[in-house]
Every structure is written in structure tokens, then in C-alpha cells.
Chain A
Amino acid sequence: MAKALRVVHYVNHFFGQKGGEAAAGLPPEVREGPVGPGLALEKALEGRGRVVATVVCGDDHFSENLDQVGQQIMALIKPYAPDLVVAGPAYGSGRYGMACGKVCELAQRELRVPAITGMNEENPGADLFRREALIVSTGETARTMAQDLGRMVRLAEKLVEGQELGEPAQEGYIPHGLRKNRLAEWSASRRAVDMLLAKIGGRSFQTELPLPKFEPVAAPAAIGDVSRARIALITDGGLVPKGNPDRLESRGATKWLGYSISGRDRLTPQEYESVHTGFDTTLVNQDPNRLVPLDAARELEQEGEIGKLHEEILTTTGVWTSLANARKFGREMAEKLKLEHIEGVILTST
């Protein structure tokens, strides 16, 4: 490379040597030269660049006002006319990860300077900024700082030189979530058969579409005796009172609702319907008990097989609903049910 790269480094209060949690509220400031991990960054640059300045900001201060503080930081960076902005790496720290993501996003968009950061894939900052920012995938702790900065520098140099990056897995960055068209050597059917044969043969293969991973959740302890338990009925099948008075979305739900079933021993088609657009609702609208089995549950309650049926049905629409919303509904429902001492839930899904 002809001339040494001018690099501005962003770090948080902790790595900027301002202190621990007590310093998390500090506003951004700029220091000449490298600070903390900036020394390792400069080493990783192996003379091909130098850290001309370091911006330090408290994580709380930044994450509470991402846009405004982000702009202030851009104003601090700009006079140094950097060729590259490096943020973090932030590892597993959520607030720091969001800050690094924001710095990269703005540096690229507002200053037109290539930027790179690093963090763990589980960091909420990765979720928020993976599209805009180039994020090197790291472990959860700073133990591997030197190697991680080395990987970041190698990728950053490609970025600065305008080289095209390879596949995320091969280059070690977190996928932007973009799809690119390219010509494959073989047709999809042949690739699928090859993959299947590799799988059967116990050989390694790489999926072309990784599925999202979900951490296991421990199963709650079994109910000792349902004939004494309070049980609630929930559905994601879009059940609503006829006419949908609360305007539950027929897809992409943004809310869930609770409807009293006090005094009712079944759901009649005159009073209830489903607004779900993800399945043919004809049969459910003929008899809504096919979706929420209130008639049968009431009989079991009367016959003593269910202790007590919760007097409210909770409902939402589970089609095109974002994972974030579904999680939120679940959390809110759990909170409410716990307050009402519900011991078990029967959830009917379409």
C-alpha cells in the first residue's frame, strides 16, 4: 500500500480507560493517537496504517441517544479525515455493540469512509446493524482481542481497496442478510442430492440456507394434578368476536387480545369468527370450537377433569407476525397469566 492508512478508532468508556460502570454516562471525547486496544490495532496494521485519533464515549450515554450522539461522534471524527473507521470490537456487550454498529453505519453513510467493527453474533448490536455495518464475528469476551483485530484489519484493507468480499462464513463476518445472484456450477436439484448424499455418508457439507437457531428453553415442571389446576386457553388462530371490534390484524399482528368467556359453555358461529389469513377459515367459522375447544373444555371442567378454566381466552394472529412481536406477546401473556395464578396453558395453533 502506497501511503499509511489514517485510522480513527472508536472505543467505549471501559476500553477507553475512563473507568467502569460509573463512567458509562460520559459524553464523547476525542484523543490523539491510540488508546487501550488501539495499541493492538496499530500493531495489527503492521505499519500499513496508524491510529490518528480515538473517540471514547460512555455506553449508557451513547445507547440512550443513538442518533444524536452518533452525529456528535461524526463531528469529532471528520476533522481527522480518516481512510478507515474501526469500532470496538464489542464482543458480547449489548450497549457497546449498538454503539459500534451506529458508528460504522454513520461513518459509511455520512462521512463516506469505510468502517468495520467486531462483536459476537448474539450481540443485539449485530441484529440491529448487520445490514449496514461490516461486523467481524467474534467470541463473547476480549480474550482474543489481538487475533480479532488482526481479522478486522485484513477485512478492512479489502474494504479500503474496494475489493469484493467473499462469503461471510469464509471471511469471518456476520452475514448482512442480503441475497446475491450468482451462477452456480450445478443446478439446485443436483446440489440438493449431493448434500443429501454427503449427509447420509457422514461427510461434511454446507447448507445454502442456514435456519435461525433458537436457544433451548427448559420445560416448566409438569402440573401435578390438572383436576385442581387453573388452565387457560390461548390461540394464534385469529379468533375474535364477530365483526372484529378491536381490529385484530388478519396478518402481521401487532397486538394480542383477551376476551371473557365467563358464563359461556361454547363458542357459537354467530358470536365468534377467525380473521386469520394464513389458512382457510371456513370450517372454523362454521364452529369456532374447532379452533378454541371451549365446549369440550367446559365439559371437562364440569366433570372435574380440569380444575378451573380461566375466564378469558387470549388470542392473536400467527401469520406474518414478526418474531419480535411474537416474543413480546408471549412475555406479556405470561406476565398476565402469572398474576392470575394460571398453572397451565393449552395453545391451539393453525
Chain B
Amino acid sequence: MIARELEKAGVPVVQLTALTPIPNTLGVNRVLASAAITYPTGDPSLPPAEEKQVRKQYLRKALKALQQQVEKPEVFY
């Protein structure tokens, strides 16, 4: 609902979540599938330096989604 209100106000938002059907059903236009419910941006199985690289990859995908024109709710992976 937060993302919807931001979008209503014209602010582009990408929502990272493991539960993509929820924001997608709510009509959030830019949804990015994240790692897991308990760690949206991370991978605890990796050493910290590598985990940070994974995190940067998520953010790059998020930034890409923000730069992409969408016509209807889309889920990015």
C-alpha cells in the first residue's frame, strides 16, 4: 500500500520482496523478486565481501527497473 501511494503521487518506486504476488496483486507496477523473506538483500551463505557484491547486483536490477517504462504491474527478476 505504501508503494501504491508513492506511485499515485508520481514517485517511481521498485519494491523488492520475496513475496512478489502480494504487491503484484495490489497493483504495484515495479516489483523485483528478492532473495528471501528473512533477508531481502543478501545471501548469508556467502562471505561478507561476496554477499555485498550480491547486494549490489540486486540494487543494479532495482535501478534498472526504475529506468524502465512499464504499462502494467510487472515483476522483475
Contacts and interface: CB of A to CB of B under 8 A. Distances in A.
A305 B60 CA distance: 8
Interface in A274-308: 279-284, 286-287, 289-293, 295-297, 299-300, 305-306
B24 to A, nearest CB: 11
B56 A299 contact: yes
Nearest to A227: B63
Residue from the set B17, B18, B72 with the largest chain A CB neighbour count within 10 Å:
B17
Contact of B38 (A284, A293, A327, A335): A284
Interface residues of A, number: 61
A293 B59 contact: yes
A226 B63 CA distance: 7
30 contacts: A211-B25, A217-B7, A217-B27, A218-B29, A219-B71, A220-B13, A236-B2, A283-B39, A283-B44, A289-B55, A290-B42, A290-B51, A293-B42, A296-B41, A296-B55, A316-B2, A326-B2, A327-B1, A327-B5, A330-B6, A333-B6, A344-B11, A344-B63, A345-B3, A345-B14, A346-B62, A347-B3, A347-B6, A347-B14, A350-B17
Contacts, number: 190
A183 interface: no
Given A222-B67, A297-B59, A323-B1, A334 B6 contact: yes
Contacts of B29: 217-220
Contacts of A216: 27, 72-73
Q: Of A215, A281, A293, A318, which is in contact with the most chain B CB atoms at under 10 Å from its CB?
A: A293
A47 B52 CA distance: 78
Contacts of B16: 346-349
B26 to A, nearest CB: 5
A182 interface: no
A15 interface: no
Interface residues of B, number: 52
Contacts of B66: 222-223, 226, 229, 231, 344, 346
Nearest to A327: B1
Interface string B20-34: 000101111110001
Interface in A216-260: 216-226, 229, 231, 234, 236-237
B12 A221 contact: yes
Contact of A334 (B11, B37, B51): B11
B59 A346 contact: yes
Contacts of B72: 216, 219
A334 B38 contact: no
Contacts of B38: 279-284, 350
B44 A329 contact: no
Given A279-B38, A349-B19, 20 more contacts: A214-B26, A217-B4, A217-B8, A219-B12, A220-B10, A224-B67, A226-B66, A279-B37, A289-B55, A290-B40, A290-B41, A293-B59, A297-B59, A323-B1, A329-B5, A335-B9, A346-B14, A347-B3, A347-B13, A350-B18
B4 A296 contact: no
Contact of A331 (B5, B28, B68): B5
A309 B48 CA distance: 22
A259 B58 CA distance: 23
Nearest to A325: B1
A248 B54 CA distance: 30
Contacts of A331: 5, 9
A271 to B, nearest CB: 17
Contacts of A346: 13-14, 16, 59, 62-63, 66
A292 B40 CA distance: 8
A344 B11 CA distance: 6
A300 to B, nearest CB: 6
B1 A349 contact: no
Contacts of A282: 38
A296 B59 contact: yes
Contacts of B5: 327, 329-331, 333-334
